[in-house]
Amino acid sequence: MSGTARAFWVRSPGVGEIRESELPAPEEGQVLVRALYSGVSRATEALVFGGGVPPGQHRLMRAPFQEGSFDGAVKYGYLNVGVVEQGPPELAGRTVFALYPHQTRYVLPAEAVRCVPEDVPAERAVLAGTVETAVNALWDAPPLVGDRLTVVGAGMVGCCVARLAAGVPGVRVQLVDTDPGRARVAERLGVDFRLPEEADEGRDLVLHTSATGAGLERALELVAAEGEVIELSWYGDRRVDVPLGEYFHSRRLTVRSSQVGAVAPRRRGSRTHADRLDLALDLLADPAFEVLLTGESPFEELPSVMPRLADGTLSALCHRIVYGQG
């Protein structure tokens, strides 16, 4: 055995706890990782924490190394950065990213970790899973040179999409949110900020990430005739009213989903999940992403921090969890 590990579990809806378990020794082809940081993907993890994953989505919503089930106690999460303590020589001592829950140490197949580039700080690398989602969305609907593009919803995913899209020559990006405080974030990301009522219409492409019916409705209002709205939001067990009357048919609009579980069809024949994650890590060399890291807490405080993140009393884009030596 490699000793013990401590992990954050959702014991029941709205209640979290830290559990200790025995950690197996790594076998050939596996690595033992000591966590440095993990990130709370606030929107998705708030749904899981509150018991909001509908039964029909339990299989699709499983995190790669989840333990337990959504209708009982569950260990969930997928933004973890650590150091390889044991493993193949080419990985030993390397800083790596893994789609692993909040846990102090863990054993994984070596191919399940990706090395963090030397020019990407470990503290920032917790965003890799979110940037990967943004990469996939822009593979689903790549903007063209000179496009007028709008992102509705300035959460983690929306901000990452906006930053990447702004790197395409000539693309003019507006980031739309109901929170005027997101204007500072948009400025750091190098994009224009608008409140919903101020946003420009006639946009070539609109990506929706706010997970609200009002946000989706506004996205449909903003896109140009015969345009496309890419839906990245996850609503869990909530039903959403979508206005499909009025301008929807007359303007021949399209709503299409984008989901990170599968590589976008445009790249599925030439890119793997590992390729996509490696790209996301490379893109995190951009220091502008630092603005998305809005606070941090010690791992031991996660049971009291998660309820505040879930109900919004602790405001955050990505809240970083910091680990000690064990």
What CATH number did the domain enclosing 102 receive?
3.90.180.10
Its pTM stands at 0.92
Q: Are residues 306 and 251 in the same domain?
A: no
Name the H helices within the chain.
42-49, 58-61, 122-125, 128-140, 156-166, 182-189, 213-222, 247-250, 273-283, 302-311
Domain region containing 202: 131-257
- CATH number (domain holding residue 162): 3.40.50.720
Q: Are residues 105 and 139 in the same domain?
A: no
Residue bearing tokens 């863990």? 106
Please tell me the predicted confidence (pLDDT) of residue 161: 98
Q: Are residues 243 and 139 in the same domain?
A: yes
Residue 24, in any domain of the structure: yes
Q: Are residues 120 and 205 in the same domain?
A: no
Q: Are residues 115 and 178 in the same domain?
A: no
Q: Are residues 293 and 230 in the same domain?
A: no
- Assess contact for 91 and 116: CB atoms under 8 A: no
Q: How many domains does the chain have?
A: 2
Q: Are residues 248 and 155 in the same domain?
A: yes
The pLDDT of residue 231 is above 60: yes
pLDDT tens per residue, range 286-296: 999 999 999 99
Please tell me the predicted confidence (pLDDT) of residue 158: 97
Grade residue 236 by pLDDT with cuts at 50, 70 and 90. low
Residue 95, in any domain of the structure: yes
- Assess contact for 283 and 135: CB atoms under 8 A: yes
Please tell me the predicted confidence (pLDDT) of residue 27: 93
pLDDT tens per residue, range 90-121: 999 999 999 999 999 999 999 999 999 999 99
Q: Which of 83-97, 188-202, 258-272 has the lowest mean pLDDT?
A: 258-272
Grade residue 237 by pLDDT with cuts at 50, 70 and 90. low
Residue 303, in any domain of the structure: yes
Grade residue 60 by pLDDT with cuts at 50, 70 and 90. confident
pLDDT tens per residue, range 128-175: 999 999 999 999 999 999 999 999 999 999 999 999 999 999 999 999
Q: Are residues 135 and 122 in the same domain?
A: no
Q: Are residues 175 and 237 in the same domain?
A: yes
Please tell me the predicted confidence (pLDDT) of residue 92: 95
Residue 252, in any domain of the structure: yes
Rounded Cα distance, 319 and 295, in Å = 5
Grade residue 315 by pLDDT with cuts at 50, 70 and 90. confident
Please tell me the predicted confidence (pLDDT) of residue 323: 97
